[in-house]
Amino acid sequence: MKVFPDKLADALTKKLPPVVIVAGEEPLQHMEACDAVRAAARARGIEEREILHVEGNFAWGRLHEASASLSLFASAKLIELRLAGNNLGQEGAKALKAYAEELKGSDNVLLLAMGKLDFRQQKSAWFQALDKAGLFVPVWPVDLSRLGFWLRDRATRYGLNLDLDAARLLGERTEGNLLAADQELQKLALMLPPNSRVSPRDVAGGVEDSSRFDVFTLMDACLKGERARVSRIMAGLRAEGVEPPIVLWALTRELRTLLSLHQHLDQGQSFEHACKAQKPSIFEKRRPAYQQAISRLPLKRLHKLLLFAQRLDLAIKGASPLPVQDGLHDLALTLAGGRGLLAELPSSYRIA
């Protein structure tokens, strides 16, 4: 059964299942979800804990051994199976499916901590067997549109009253880095009197920019036409050393998707059908952003952007004098509906 992190503690209070899968790549919520399972196990009297780190040559038979072996002083244990990513391999998938089949009569609790699981993996036999017996906790990054509200709720843990403008500013400075956001709230709680109302001025004066971005965040901002945010993300990616080919790959992929959507629409298909026809299909949650971009970018404009992306590819390979970083910023900003940094350069460098 699927339970989101903010509801996990309540679900565990009602019943501690024999299996909990915590999967995702957002560190703070992932850590706190695992902590909630450990606390629930202790509350039920489970004191023994065995940790198994799944690495390259992990012997999956150890999982069965951990489940079967108990000390003289405990009738149950918490088994933590920790994967760095989400790749189990055939042997791991078989071992987890077999574990699910042996659950009956066992008082043990399995905490499976791993990376993000896609829809295909959630259809696998091992996942279906474990999910049927326990809880699945998907850990997703907090979207920027919800981040301010998330921070306001989080601030109450530390006795702070964060007004919405302050929460939005804090969100801008810590986007993509909830660990840093939580640390900044703790710092504000130490600096300010209890039950203080935190204003944007308090945030501006006491919080450094510690946001973290990836190319997928950049794509969302481009599609939604968030020009100021696109510039901020591009600067962040450059500062973090993200290689230009990765940024160009992401931008080019979105350009080709938008071109494909246009072609399906020109053939008289509905927007929903055009989204489903993409490989992979565009998730329903992201479709409004694509619709915004389609209405903003005509087919001719997208072809010009794709040609400019090809020139950037040559520049990355050293076959063109085009300035790569400014060119990538220009491409991203134009995709978002803005005017790029190359506007003042000779016309041969600009997007026509």
Report pLDDT digits (tens) over 170-182: 988 888 899 999 9
The enclosing domain of 293 has a CATH number of 1.20.272.10
Q: Are residues 226 and 153 in the same domain?
A: no
CA distance 144 to 234: 16
pLDDT per residue as tens, the chain (352 positions): 899 998 999 999 999 999 999 999 899 999 999 999 999 999 999 989 999 999 878 899 998 888 887 765 667 899 999 998 777 889 999 999 999 988 877 889 999 999 999 888 899 999 999 999 999 999 998 888 889 999 999 999 999 999 888 998 898 888 889 999 999 999 889 888 888 898 888 888 777 777 788 898 899 999 999 999 999 999 989 988 999 999 999 999 999 999 999 999 999 999 999 998 988 888 888 899 999 999 999 999 999 999 999 999 999 999 888 899 999 999 999 999 887 555 444 455 555 5
Locate 212 and state its tokens: 């973290």
The enclosing domain of 171 has a CATH number of 1.10.8.60
The enclosing domain of 23 has a CATH number of 3.40.50.300
Q: Are residues 226 and 202 in the same domain?
A: no
Number of neighbouring beta carbons within 10 Å of residue 169: 22
Q: Are residues 16 and 105 in the same domain?
A: yes
Please write the tens of the pLDDT for every residue from 319-345. Answer: 888 899 999 999 999 999 887 555 444
Q: E-strand spans in the chain?
A: 19-24, 48-54, 77-83, 109-114, 135-139, 161-162, 197-198
Q: Are residues 101 and 135 in the same domain?
A: yes
Please write the tens of the pLDDT for every residue from 237-274. Answer: 998 899 999 999 999 999 999 999 999 999 999 999 99
Q: Which domain holds residue 174?
A: 144-206
Q: Which of 105, 124, 139 is the last residue of a domain?
A: 139
Q: Using alpha carbons only, give the angle 62, 64, 69 rounded to the nearest 5 degrees.
A: 90
Q: Are residues 36 and 132 in the same domain?
A: yes
Q: Are residues 11 and 135 in the same domain?
A: yes
User: Could you give the number of structural domains in the chain?
Assistant: 3
Q: Are residues 121 and 197 in the same domain?
A: no
Q: Which of 110, 139, 168 is the last residue of a domain?
A: 139
Q: Which of 206, 236, 254 is the last residue of a domain?
A: 206
